[in-house]
Structure 1
């Protein structure tokens, strides 16, 4: 009976990290996009949620987004953009591209 750990996202809400597609910062709130297409709004900042998700396959390509690497379908190196399952693309900031290469191509 090994249960998957749940992420506490504020109030009494808890979500399995594998069900989170991505998180977007909105000032002092975070919009959480789930696998089933629904969204949740949390009063916890993206930085705090990023620390809580450090043991899971999440990557922060820029200051406003945290993505689940399990939902990434393509990476365009020339433009440093990540494409998600839902065809949404996110630009990787210049300072974070090296880190993305290191986690996406472990050799």
Structure 2
């Protein structure tokens, strides 16, 4: 794996984007969840990380979550009783999908 395939996530730590499952914002910090089940806290905010991951297969499902599209297992469109759309990752985590981002997401997936 070449060094330019790694992304800096804060400080001096660089990781491979394919190992990231999702990112969750917490004010000015970001929790980065990995495919192996581990999690780290970065002092870099989610907006900056989104720009750094722009070249990879990541999608911002709503204002506080970015998911890796490679690890989407299923998605649910808005149901008849008004529940919002959601995305299920391969680890079983259910992520809400913003109404404004739903059309873009369904276009990317299909």
Output the TM-score relative to the length of structure 1.
Answer: 0.92
Aligned structure 1 segments of 4 or more residues deviating by more than 6 angstroms: none
Aligned residues: 104
Which whole-Å deviations, capped at 9, do the CAs of 1:3-52 have from their partners, x for residues lacking one? 26101011111110000000000100000001111111111100110011
For 1:83, the equivalent position in structure 2 comes to 88
Which 10-residue stretch deviates more, 73-82 or 59-68? 73-82
Query: How much is the aligned-residue C-alpha RMSD, in angstroms?
Result: 1.2
**Structure 1 segment 57-68 matched on structure 2, within 5 A:** 57-68=57-68
Gaps of 5+ in 2: 79-83
Alignment map for 1:1-12 (pairs within 5 Å): 3=2, 5-12=5-12
Residue 96 (structure 1) aligned with residue 105 (structure 2): no
Structure 2: how far apart are the matches of 1:87 and 1:37?
12
Return 5+ residue gaps in structure 1 as ranges.
none
Inter-partner Cα distance in structure 2 for 1:74 and 1:101: 11
User: Aligned equivalents of 1:70 and 1:6: distance in 2?
Assistant: 17
- What TM-score do you get using the length of structure 2 for normalisation? 0.89
